[in-house]
Amino acid sequence: MNGQARRGAATLALAALAAATAAGAAAADGGGQRGMAAEDGPRAVPEPAIAAQRGVPRIRQQVVFSDGKVLAGPVRARRASLRVDGRRCAVAAATALGALIRSRPGPLAFHDYGSCSRRPADASGLFVKRIRSERNRGLDGWVYKVGHELATAGAADPSGPFGAGRLRAGDEVVWFYCRQRARGTCQRTLEVETAVDGRRVTATVTGYDDAGEGIAVAGATVRSGRRSATTDRDGRATLRLPRGRHVLFAAKRGAIRSFARRVVVR
């Protein structure tokens, strides 16, 4: 988990009221960083060795679309800016929204429920209502997790995703399109852990709810290149892989696929 102080998940309880989707598209300024790779594995990003970047955390980010497409890679969560309804708004470094904008995932649209300005401190009311062509509708829309937990604060909130400090180097942030079920929770996000014994790689898949509570996931596909296996009731699957370095991930219909993990078979 990403920090002991980060507690308390945002339970997106089903509102009786219909969600009114706010109008007003906005443009984001990624400040020249290259976009993320549509991929299966992490992508190397050249690290500009400029002093201004020191202290700005490099995080891992995944943007998972409903059709299963994934943009993934490391991102330096630098300060960013965007325009909402003709206003220029600054977003603090080390926030999930700063990282999202910097990763340039494609067109983004926002609504400001606060009073954003050129000061990042005013950005806590910024809300992502579209990434590429996927637009929030009804009670469904874009959410982000840090580690396994749904953040409890807005993505540009300068107090950080859980109100207890901003993103740190190595944090994993996943953006996905939440489809709230009858219980009013989002899809589980998958995590895959591996153990290597000779050429046998045992993968254990856990699915985390909004609060970061995990359960073993049966029926998930663990994939490494062309090889794949399906998890049993304990969430375990075994793959035989040749010597070398491999990347694997877990996916299941109705859940959000895991980050890619590296394994080395000796």
Minimum separation from the CB atom of position 14 to ligand B12 (A): 7
Nearest residue to 189 (alpha-carbon basis) of 206, 202, 177? 206
Q: What is the CA radius of gyration of the chain?
A: 19
Minimum separation from the CB atom of position 110 to ligand B12 (A): 8
Minimum separation from the CB atom of position 162 to ligand B12 (A): 9
Closer Cβ to ligand B12, 156 or 260, answer by number: 156
Interaction site with ligand B12 (CB under 6 A): 10, 12-13, 15, 17, 19-22, 113, 125, 127-129, 136-144, 150-155, 178
Task: Give CA–CA dist 169/56, Å, rounded.
Answer: 8
Closer Cβ to ligand B12, 181 or 262, answer by number: 181
> Residue with the closest Cβ to ligand B12?
141
Minimum separation from the CB atom of position 252 to ligand B12 (A): 21
Closer Cβ to ligand B12, 159 or 228, answer by number: 159
Closer Cβ to ligand B12, 124 or 231, answer by number: 124
Closer Cβ to ligand B12, 176 or 249, answer by number: 176
What are 72's two structure tokens? Answer: 């993934």
Minimum separation from the CB atom of position 73 to ligand B12 (A): 20
Q: Determine whether 97 is exposed, middle or buried from the number of CB atoms within 10 Å of its CB (0-12, 13-18, 19+).
A: buried
Strands (E), 117-170: 126-131, 134-135, 141-146, 149-150
